[in-house]
Every structure is written in C-alpha cells, then in structure tokens.
Structure 1
Amino acid sequence: MEIIKQPHITFIGDIDGKRILRKLEDSGRKCWQTDAKEDSSEQFVGKIIGRGHTSVLEHEIFTCDIITDRGVMSELTRHRIASYSIESTRYVKYNGRMQFIKPVEFCKDPYDEKTPDDYELELIWENSCRESEIAYISMLSYGAKPELARQVLNNSLKTEIRFTINMRSARNFFDLRCDVAAHPHMKQIAIPMLLFLQEKVPVLFDDIKYDKKFADKYLKNWRDMVSVKEIGG
C-alpha cells in the first residue's frame, strides 16, 4: 500500500492568456460586428463579464489531468457542463501495490501540534485502506473479476481524471468549490487550479473569491501541486 500525500493537477497544454482573450474578444465582437483594436482584448472581456454576457466565455476551454481520490471524483463529476475520462475500477486490475490519497485533514503544518486523537484518526484511516487492499486482493485470488472486487475499495483510492471545461462553467465551478462552505477535499484541488488560472488569465478569474484561511493552512505549497504538460503536434 502506498499513501500519496496530496493530489496533483496537470494542465494539458500551456494556458496562453493573450491567445485566449483574443479568441474570446473575436467571438464576442461577432454580436456587434465590430473589429478588435490593438491590445483591446482584456478590456473587452472584462466588460462582457461585468455585464453578465458570459456565454461568450464558452468559446474557450481548458483541459487538465487530476490525480485525486474516488470521493472527490464523485463530487467533481456533478458539474455536468464538462467532459470527463476517468480511470476505470471495472477494467483496471489492482493486483500490485494500491495507492490511496491522504485526506487533507491529516496534512497539517508540521509545526501544528497533533493531539492523540489526531494520531488515532489517521491510524484508523490507514488501517481501513490496508484492509480494503487485503480484501480486494483476496477476492481476486478466489476468482472475482475487478468489477466485483472493487466493491470493497474505499473512497480514498487514487484515481486519475481527464477534465475539460469551458471558461464560463469553470467560473461557476470555482465559485462553488473554492468557497468556505465547499468540501475540504474539493477545495484542495479547486483552489490551486484557480490560483494558477488567476496568474495566467487574470481578467477571467480575478473576481472569484476563495477560502484563504483554508489555503493558508493547507495549501502553502500549492505550486507543487500544479504542472503543465505540453502535447506535441
């Protein structure tokens, strides 16, 4: 059994902010039949967001690969105006070392003092993952197919998700999943994604708020959780 300490997000292809804004401006100007001016894209896109004409943002998307757990997967896929390709527990046979994502609640700052209950809770979780792995392998040894053996796997099992979403839906996703009231495990992946995109395309995402208290406590090294993968032509 292997425990992965944190999720990871890999953006597929560079997020070229200037190109994205030029495309969105060109799409939006179809409505008015006007021509773009030099360096007018950021101002134009900012205005259409401010006026609520966000359907224009659907003309641009981003894609990323997310390494997370099965519990987060079930939350993520509730956002239906998006596309998903997900590691299948029906067809993938975990007959080697299983991987489990460590819950963010157990990833406290090393300078934070842990209580005896904290250690006990983490031990209970680790044991449940280990027992899940043992039960799964035992079922396989008795001839069960992966589609049956997977019934004993818990929500912490690592999974990989290809996630594609348009910019309008992404704004809604971040509004919901970066909020103070969002599930901690969703905030753990959504906030680093938002912070990355705020750097790349500020005008599209700078107005979206996120749980800064959570980020300060658990996501100090959020840049380590985000990478970019170039796809050759």
Structure 2
Amino acid sequence: MKIKLLKFTNDPEKICAVAAKLCRSSENIDEISGNFTKEKIKELLSRIISSGHYSVLEHSSFTFGVEGISRVLLAQLTRHRIASFSVQSQRYVRFENGVEYVVPDTIKKNKTLLKKYDDFLKNTETLYKEFLDEGIPAEDARYILPNASATKIVITMNARELKHFFSLRCCNRSQWEIRDMACLMLNLVKKKAALLFSDAGPDCVRKGCNEVFSCGKPWKKYK
C-alpha cells in the first residue's frame, strides 16, 4: 500500500479558526483573518474541538493518492458518503501486463495456503488475458477478477469527515487493510494540521469505546 497527501487547503487551521470566529464576531472577514496569531488559532480551535462543534472543520479538505489497495477495501471505503472518490476503472483499463493483488498476512504465514492462493490468482490472470486475446471487452473480462485485485484511488475528504472516518476505521476492530490505510492517512494529516486532528482516532481516544464487542485494549498509534 502506498499513500501520498496530494493536496490540502492552504493554512487549514487558520481557515477553520476564521470560520469559527466569524460566527460570533461583528468584524469583517479581513479583520478577523488579520488579527489571528498562532496562539489565538490554537486557543480557539482547542475550544471548538473540545466542544464538538465540528461544522467549521468542513472548510479544510485533504486529497490523498492511494495505490495497492484491494477491492475489499474499496467496498468499505465507499460507504463513507461525504467524500469524493476517483477509482482506476477495471472497465477501461486492460491489465495485459499482469494484475496486482493484495495478500493478507494470515495467508502469507501459511505456506501451503499461500501457494494455493498464488496458483489461483495466476490461473485467474491467465484466463483474464485469454479473454482479452479472444476479443472479450475488458468490462466483461473483469468479471472473473477477485476481491484481491489491487486498485488505485484518489480520495478527498474535509477535516470533519476525516475525523469521523478515523473514529471508525482506526479502531482495533476495523478490518486490517482499511485500518492500515486510515492510520497512515491520519499520520499524514497530523503533520499538516496537528490542531485539527489533535484528538483524532478511534472513539476510545476521546470518550470510551462504542463498539458492541470491544477489543478491550488501548489503541496504539500506527507507526
């Protein structure tokens, strides 16, 4: 899996602070923006985040480029409605030079099953290529490709939705692949907007676990 933060709102913490201040100020926007210091931004955002008034966080957005994730992850990711996704299409892209696959660690550890897994994927790839060679359109040949098939995606979310995403997907009980991706994304945005994501992570970081079947373990930050 490879993740890169492609673009984000310029000065994301300040724009959220300006939006928050505007709601209760008689000053114009230029005055509010010009009067902000780093200390004032930190103080205001700390109050906003601790109070749970996250609407102003929607003014900052972050765009990621992600490669090497499976279609299993993709099915989970697109359940997050308040986001924008652009995915490499199996309909238009012809994988004539080979299909990349994701292999879970649990399968990697079992040499016997790993060989069967690899053999199955190789056979599938061979049949896929045969379909293409026989003139079957890529949009039809893709029907035999498994969930393990890797894809690429560009994702954009605002800071509020990212915090919600992290609360669900950084959780120890989240499926391992999307959890790894979420934790890597969290590390990236914290480097650019530490104040906005100061309490980001699973629910247990802030208010205790909301899972029906809790893992019972403290959350460890992804390294």
Gaps of 5+ in 1: 1-6, 108-113, 221-233
1:53 correspondence with 2:47: no
Superimposed CA distance per residue, residues 82-104 of structure 1 (whole angstroms, 9 cap, x where no aligned partner): 00111000011111122112324
> Match for 1:88: what amino acid?
S
Distance 2:113 2:9 in 1: 40
> Match for 1:50: what amino acid?
S
Deviation at 1:127, TM superposition (A): 1.8
Query: What corresponds to 2:98 in structure 1?
Result: 97
Query: Any idea what SS the aligned residue of 1:90 has?
Result: coil
Query: What corresponds to 2:6 in structure 1?
Result: 12
Query: What corresponds to 1:77 in structure 2?
Result: 78
Query: What corresponds to 2:148 in structure 1?
Result: 156
Deviation at 1:52, TM superposition (A): 1.4
Judging changes above 3 Å, is the alpha-carbon distance between structure 1 residues 214 and 27 closer, same or farther for their aligned structure 2 residues?
Answer: closer
RMSD: 2.4
Judging changes above 3 Å, is the alpha-carbon distance between structure 1 residues 162 and 104 closer, same or farther for their aligned structure 2 residues?
Answer: farther
> Match for 2:5: what amino acid?
F
Matches within 5 A, 1:28-39: 28-33=20-25, 35=32, 36-39=35-38
Deviation at 1:37, TM superposition (A): 3.5
Tell whether the 8 Å contact from 2:9 to 2:61 is kept in structure 1 after alignment.
Answer: no
Judging changes above 3 Å, is the alpha-carbon distance between structure 1 residues 168 and 14 closer, same or farther for their aligned structure 2 residues?
Answer: closer
Query: What corresponds to 1:110 in structure 2?
Result: none
Judging changes above 3 Å, is the alpha-carbon distance between structure 1 residues 91 and 214 closer, same or farther for their aligned structure 2 residues?
Answer: farther
Query: Any idea what SS the aligned residue of 2:195 has?
Result: helix
Query: What corresponds to 1:88 in structure 2?
Result: 89
Superimposed CA distance per residue, residues 183-210 of structure 1 (whole angstroms, 9 cap, x where no aligned partner): 0111121111112222332222232335
Judging changes above 3 Å, is the alpha-carbon distance between structure 1 residues 167 and 14 closer, same or farther for their aligned structure 2 residues?
Answer: closer
Matches within 5 A, 1:84-233: 84-105=85-106, 114=109, 118-209=110-201, 220=223
Q: How many residues align?
A: 201
Query: Any idea what SS the aligned residue of 2:153 has?
Result: strand
Tell whether the 8 Å contact from 1:66 to 1:161 is kept in structure 2 after alignment.
Answer: yes
- Compare 189-198 and 201-210 and name the one that shifted more: 201-210
Query: Any idea what SS the aligned residue of 1:12 has?
Result: strand
Judging changes above 3 Å, is the alpha-carbon distance between structure 1 residues 104 and 10 closer, same or farther for their aligned structure 2 residues?
Answer: farther
TM-score normalised to structure 1 length = 0.78
Deviation at 1:80, TM superposition (A): 0.7
If asked which structure has higher relative contact order (CA below 8 Å, sep 6+), I would say 1
Superimposed CA distance per residue, residues 28-60 of structure 1 (whole angstroms, 9 cap, x where no aligned partner): 111012534422112211211111110100011
> Match for 1:10: what amino acid?
K
Judging changes above 3 Å, is the alpha-carbon distance between structure 1 residues 106 and 193 closer, same or farther for their aligned structure 2 residues?
Answer: farther
| Percent of matched pairs sharing the same residue | 29
Distance 2:177 2:106 in 1: 9
Deviation at 1:171, TM superposition (A): 0.3
